Amino acid sequence: MNILVVNGGSSSLKYQLYDMEREVVTAKGLCERIGLGGSRLTHTAMESGVKTVYEGAMDDHKAAIAQVFNALVASEGGVLKSHTEIDAVGHRVLHGGDKFTESAIVTDEIEAMVEQLIPLGPLHNPANLAGIRACRDLMPGVPQVAVFDTAFHQTMPEHAYTYAIPYEYYDKYGVKLRRYGFHGSSHRYVSERAAKMLGRESDPNFKVIVCHLGNGSSFSACKGGRSVDTSMGLTPLEGIPMGTRSGSIDPTILQFIMNREGLSMDEMIDVLNKKSGVLGISCVSSDFRDIDGAAKEGNHNAQLALDIFRYVGKKLIGSYAAALEGVDAIAFTGGVGENSGDTRAAMTSGLEFMGVVLDAEKNAERGAERDVSAAESRVRILVIPTDEEFVIAADTVRLTAAGVTPDSQ
Ligand code: AMP
């Protein structure tokens, strides 16, 4: 079964083609500058290693998908004879609101629901829809599945997802104003892998804190494979400071800055999403490797950005251990979580009182899935490379093979 996984951004589109019989990626690529002029597609055939770059107009997502089809069947770097060999498409969709607790086969009704949620995902949901519509137009009849970033966290209890604002606002506007959480495919994948690594797959009491640390970062508290709390909120802006996002702050700061700088609310939110986080503090970069480098050269603000990021991460670990009333494992994932031993060390240091003891040597080694805790640690500290695309491909196979329809969910 060939499954195309599509992750549509406003001017970009990432894709991976899976051969699900062998569970391998056969091709992957990225379309950039869609609709902006100077568009390009970078395509890699995984098994031959052939990399091709296509430059040429891609006015919209439909043109981008058409270009992806060309790359997939090209004499150089192609992996299919025809795009009709694609059996189904899985789409990453940012916001599923409280309507989607699971992935879903795309129908007109599902599309309408994703559209209705645009106010909660103004940048991503329209781009995700554009990807869905482009595939539907170019491959009519081929099943498409939407995999929502929010779905995994729909198991949170009411007291974890409700904000303490006047309750009349909660359900007044057609979309519920509550915590949703994001990176759901990653939290789901990593929590499942953690349980498997420790032989606790079917244990309803297995408690793991997943630390997804990358350009965007979020934490989740999972019990028995279900999310019971997570750090991102109504939108991905809440929680730990990230590459460019502020994370949680006192909202009165907005009023203070807006009054003095003459900013509108939209402009202020833009500052919090795009100019804050470790970029805002370090004044160096949003990229953690750049910040690491600057901190090692003695840049105070770069070090401060790292210190804040790591301190807030540690506080989240502590608070989620309390929320779970105990913890069996802490799992690190994402570009920073998988690669930065310093960050893992800082976020777990001083937590020996909770039974969390890192093994410095194991933590310094590189590798794939591994346990970096000391033998005496009561809590296992794991490094688990995430694989959101595989989750999307697997859900697409599961739903299309089972012939699940929205009505039967
Ligand atoms: P992601 O968003 O999960 O792809 O993660 C991207 C982030 O991971 C970027 O900020 C990178 O600088 C960071 N990253 C990747 N490798 C390392 C590393 N070895 N040390 C620190 N940060 C890293």
Segment 202-221, tens digit of pLDDT: 999 999 999 999 999 999 99
| CA 131/CA 59 separation, integer angstroms | 13
Give residue-wise pLDDT tens across range 80-110: 999 999 999 999 999 999 988 999 999 999 9
Mean pLDDT confidence for 344-350: 98
Q: Are 78 and 85 in contact (CB under 8 A)?
A: no
The β-bridge relationship of strands 51-55 and 380-383 is: unpaired
Q: Which residue has the higher pLDDT, 349 or 57?
A: 349
pLDDT band at 408 (very low <50, low <70, confident <90, very high): very low
* Backbone phi, psi, residue 206, to 5°: -70, 125
Which pLDDT score, from 0 to 100, does residue 122 have?
86
Is residue 299 in contact with ligand 1, taking CB distance under 6 Å?
A: no
pLDDT(409) > 90 = no
Give residue-wise pLDDT tens across range 287-298: 999 999 999 999
Q: Do the domains 201-388 and 2-151 match in fold? A: yes
CA of 336 to the centre of ligand 1 (A): 4
Mean pLDDT, all residues of the chain:
95
Q: Are 124 and 73 in contact (CB under 8 A)?
A: no
CA of 308 to the centre of ligand 1 (A): 17
Pocket test for ligand 1, best of 211, 213, 240, 289 (most atoms within 8 A of CB): 289
| CA 100/CA 34 separation, integer angstroms | 29
Active site residues: 149
CA of 161 to the centre of ligand 1 (A): 29
pLDDT(407) > 60 = no
Task: Kindly give, in sequence order, each residue whose CB lies less than 8 Å from that of residue 275, ignoring residues fewer than 6 positions away.
Answer: 244
| CA 45/CA 71 separation, integer angstroms | 9
Q: Are 107 and 115 in contact (CB under 8 A)?
A: no
pLDDT(405) > 80 = no
Q: Which residue has the higher pLDDT, 324 or 10?
A: 324
* Backbone phi, psi, residue 349, to 5°: -70, 145
| CA 226/CA 152 separation, integer angstroms | 7
For residue 224, the tally of other CB atoms under 10 A from its CB is 16
Mean pLDDT confidence for 386-401: 95
Which pLDDT score, from 0 to 100, does residue 174 have?
87
Which pLDDT score, from 0 to 100, does residue 406 have?
47
| CA 397/CA 138 separation, integer angstroms | 20
CATH superfamily, domain at 2-151: ATPase, nucleotide binding domain (3.30.420.40)
* Backbone phi, psi, residue 389, to 5°: -65, -40
CATH superfamily, domain at 201-388: ATPase, nucleotide binding domain (3.30.420.40)
The secondary structure of 65-98 as a DSSP string is HHHHHHHHH-TTT---S-GGG--EEEEEES--TT
Give residue-wise pLDDT tens across range 158-193: 999 999 999 999 999 988 999 999 999 999 999 999
| CA 335/CA 205 separation, integer angstroms | 29
What is the Cα gyration radius of the chain? Answer: 22
Is residue 385 in contact with ligand 1, taking CB distance under 6 Å?
A: no
Alpha helices in 102-224 (DSSP H): 108-116, 124-138, 158-161, 184-197
Mean pLDDT confidence for 316-331: 98
Give residue-wise pLDDT tens across range 41-57: 999 999 999 999 999 89
pLDDT(404) > 70 = no
Mean pLDDT confidence for 12-17: 95
| CA 341/CA 355 separation, integer angstroms | 19
CA of 371 to the centre of ligand 1 (A): 20
Alpha helices in 83-161 (DSSP H): 108-116, 124-138, 158-161
3-state secondary structure of 396: helix
Q: Are 359 and 373 in contact (CB under 8 A)?
A: yes
Residue 331 burial (C-beta neighbours within 10 Å; 0-12, 13-18, 19+): buried
- Helices (H) and strands (E) counted in the chain, each on its own, are 14, 14
Is residue 101 in contact with ligand 1, taking CB distance under 6 Å?
A: no
pLDDT band at 196 (very low <50, low <70, confident <90, very high): very high
Say which DSSP state 318 is in: H
pLDDT(300) > 60 = yes
Is residue 191 in contact with ligand 1, taking CB distance under 6 Å?
A: no
The share of the chain scoring above pLDDT 90, in percent, equals 93
Give residue-wise pLDDT tens across range 111-159: 999 999 998 888 899 999 999 999 999 999 999 999 999 999 999 999 9
What is the strand order of the sheet 217-223 is part of?
A: 226-230, 217-223, 207-213, 329-333, 380-383, 370-371
- Residue whose CA lies nearest to ligand 1 atom number 20: 340
3-state secondary structure of 261: helix
Could you tell me which residues are beta bridge partners of residue 18?
A: 3, 25
Range with the poorest average pLDDT among 24-33, 244-253, 394-403:
394-403
Helix axes 288-296, 300-324, angle to 10 degrees: 120
CA of 21 to the centre of ligand 1 (A): 31
Q: Where are the domains of the chain?
A: 2-151, 201-388
The secondary structure of 284-299 as a DSSP string is S-S-HHHHHHHHHTT-
pLDDT(23) > 70 = yes
- Residues listed for the chain: 409
Is residue 218 in contact with ligand 1, taking CB distance under 6 Å?
A: no
The structure tokens 């070090």 sit at: 303
